[in-house]
Chains A and B, each alone.
Chain A
Amino acid sequence: MSEVLVLIEHSGSDVKKVSLELLAIAAGLGEPSAVVVGPGAGDCVAILGEHGAQTVYVADAADMVDYVVAPTAELLAQLVSEKSPTAVLIPSSAEGKEVAGRLAVATNSGVITDAVAVAADGTATQNVFGGATIVQSKVSSGTPIITIRTNSTAPFVTGGSATRVDVTVALSDVAKSAKVTNRVSVEKSGRPDLSEAAIVVSGGRGVGSDEGFATIIEPLADALGAAVGASRAATDAGWYPHQFQVGQTGKTVSPQLYIANGISGAIQHRAGMQTSKAVIVVNKDADAPIFDLADFGVVGDLNTVIPDLTARIKNRG
């Protein structure tokens, strides 16, 4: 069986859930081989083996992550020419899509982004136009390069173990032309990652202030073990940081449950949350378009409904 390369997203030894999901999808196409880049890559081998990787290619040279995406793309291009894989699967993050784009140019291969499923014959399923249309497409030239969204499938524990293969790549000058000189982390909340969370509690203009996020939205999120999201109206107003924006120009999320509070449901917001499995809406305007997506909706003031709900969930212990 031919190899399927899976690019792993990780931070040190902490493997992102999406990577394990991609290994499960890769198993349906061929023999999963993980590709891990950057410091800490070697520490990911065991967990990747347990989730179905047969081989783990480790490229832990520091300069692999000192430059914007190009080094990873050059490494993958080298592996594609050496291993002739059936496909290359990459997480559909902003960075993952750029790696995929550069790899497609380097290998003259077709690229499909934002897939939610890949069939055994390589046909990818995408939800486009904010989830309103479902498209099946297939790469017709070169090695299929497919980026896949988080929460598209469940990780699968095979309990196996992987063979570690260390790899190096001689980076071109251009790959080293955009240098990362500093990484700045905004404060970590301790909440689950927005794009991976099973539950997202989101707030919009109706939340009214940054204080509203701190005293109404965040406590509900914490009671549910959820991530916090926000509409653009809320991030533009500075009530919540931009990296939590959900929608067309923010994150696309597909959680088990999305709770929209004080969000009207503009088409650009729906584009980022329309494929959520279940949606709860709290909005004081019964005509707000977001109610069209609701499995359960309450027409009411979030300032009274949400604190009451948070207290009820906490009381259940």
Chain B
Amino acid sequence: MNICVCVKQVPDSWAEKKLSSTDSTLDRASADRVVNELDEYAVEEALRIVEAHGGEVTILSMGPTEAADSIRKAISMGATAGIHVVDDALHGSDALATSLVLAKALEGRGFDLIIFGSESTDARMSVVPAMVAARLNLPQLTFANKVDVDGSAIKIQRVTDYGYDEVSATLPAVVSVVEKTNEPRYPSFKNIMAAKKAPMEALTLSDLGVDASTVGLGNAWSQVASFADRPAKPAGTIVTDDGTGAAHIEEFLVAQKFI
């Protein structure tokens, strides 16, 4: 079983995020960079599958030079190798361009399973896994909170508004996992050392045969016209409960016509 996990380097979700005033892209310098937390669940799921069925896990990321750190971080959980698509022309790429580049990088490598985290904590669009599945013409098994692989058959529980759907398909397939799937492991010292020497393939757009004029900020399928901070909310009324707390809330609810 050969599994590829796609990871994204994102600003730490604990930090306040900002858009850059020069080109309206995410200001990556303004916060610490970490592996998108949900992608750690994807790595964990991949490791559990190869531990049960044999095989190897490869980490793929598209991102600036520093994203290599995140690939090594993900490898240190127990993966074998990394692929890093890095090209200045990719700056500001939207989900369509990202999915195009990832699909090109995945194509023809014979992965049985491609696993994503179900969303990135910065862009929060949750569309890249579906787009990659569409581009590669593979079954889309997304929002999984449980994944079962048996030979070439795969079954997931797909989280829905009403509970979950059981979905089945035949490998190869694209999967995305939610945070309830598993508990990501901490890298062992041995794996941290191994990750430093793990093979890492760096690919440019021309290596992938992607025309630079189809990706990046200037060629995005949508453009940001303007952005502004939400106006700060005026401070509310805070009271300390002395037995009348509930009565005060009741007054507020009445004044605002909620009751």
A-side interface residues toward B, CB under 8 Å? 68-70, 73, 93-95, 97-98, 100-102, 104-106, 108-114, 123, 127-129, 131-142, 144, 174, 177-186, 188, 193, 195, 199, 224, 242-243, 248-249, 256-257, 267-268, 278-280, 282, 286, 291-301, 304-306, 308-309, 312-313, 316
Q: Is the CB of A100 within 8 A of B127?
A: yes
Q: Is the CB of B134 within 8 A of A111?
A: no
Q: Is the CB of B224 within 8 A of A70?
A: no
Chain B residue nearest to A139 in the complex (CB): B222
B-side interface residues toward A, CB under 8 Å? 13-14, 16-19, 24, 38, 94-96, 99, 119, 121, 124-128, 130-131, 133-135, 137-143, 145, 155, 157-170, 173, 178-180, 220-230, 233, 236-241, 245-250, 252-253, 256, 258-259
Chain B residue nearest to A105 in the complex (CB): B134
Contacts of B119 in A (CB 8 A): 249
Task: Tell me if B's interface is mostly helix, strand, loop or mixed.
Answer: mixed
- Pick the contact of B249 from A177, A248, A298 — CB < 8 Å? A298
Chain B residue nearest to A193 in the complex (CB): B161
Task: Tell me if A's interface is mostly helix, strand, loop or mixed.
Answer: mixed
The 4 closest A-B pairs by CB, nearest first: A300-B241, A110-B221, A101-B127, A308-B246
Residue contacts A-B, CB under 8 angstroms, 17 given: A68-B139, A68-B141, A95-B160, A102-B131, A129-B16, A132-B16, A133-B229, A134-B227, A139-B221, A140-B223, A178-B139, A179-B167, A181-B155, A199-B258, A267-B14, A282-B245, A312-B250
Chain A residue nearest to B170 in the complex (CB): A177
Report how far A248 CA is from B119 CA in the complex, Å.
9
Q: Is the CB of A141 within 8 A of B221?
A: yes
Contacts of B225 in A (CB 8 A): 123, 136-138
Q: Is the CB of B162 within 8 A of A185?
A: yes
Q: Name the distance in Å between A311's Cβ and chain B's nearest Cβ.
A: 8
Report how far A296 CA is from B94 CA in the complex, Å.
39
Q: Is the CB of B124 within 8 A of A248?
A: yes
* Further contacts, 19 of them, CB under 8 A, given A97-B126, A256-B258: A95-B160, A98-B142, A110-B221, A111-B221, A129-B18, A139-B221, A141-B221, A142-B221, A178-B140, A180-B166, A183-B163, A224-B258, A286-B238, A297-B236, A298-B240, A299-B240, A300-B241, A300-B245, A305-B249
Q: Is the CB of A299 within 8 A of B258?
A: no
Chain A residue nearest to B222 in the complex (CB): A110
Contacts of B143 in A (CB 8 A): 94
Contacts of B14 in A (CB 8 A): 267
Given contacts A101-B134, A111-B96, A133-B18, contact A249 B248 (CB under 8 A): no
Contacts of A188 in B (CB 8 A): 162
Chain A residue nearest to B126 in the complex (CB): A97
- Pick the contact of A135 from B19, B141, B237 — CB < 8 Å? B19
Q: Which of A113, A268, A279 has the most CB of B within 10 A?
A: A113
Q: Is the CB of A93 within 8 A of B241?
A: no
Q: Is the CB of A301 within 8 A of B241?
A: yes
Report how far A291 CA is from B225 CA in the complex, Å.
33
Q: Name the distance in Å between B217's Cβ and chain A's nearest Cβ.
A: 11
Report how far A294 CA is from B170 CA in the complex, Å.
50
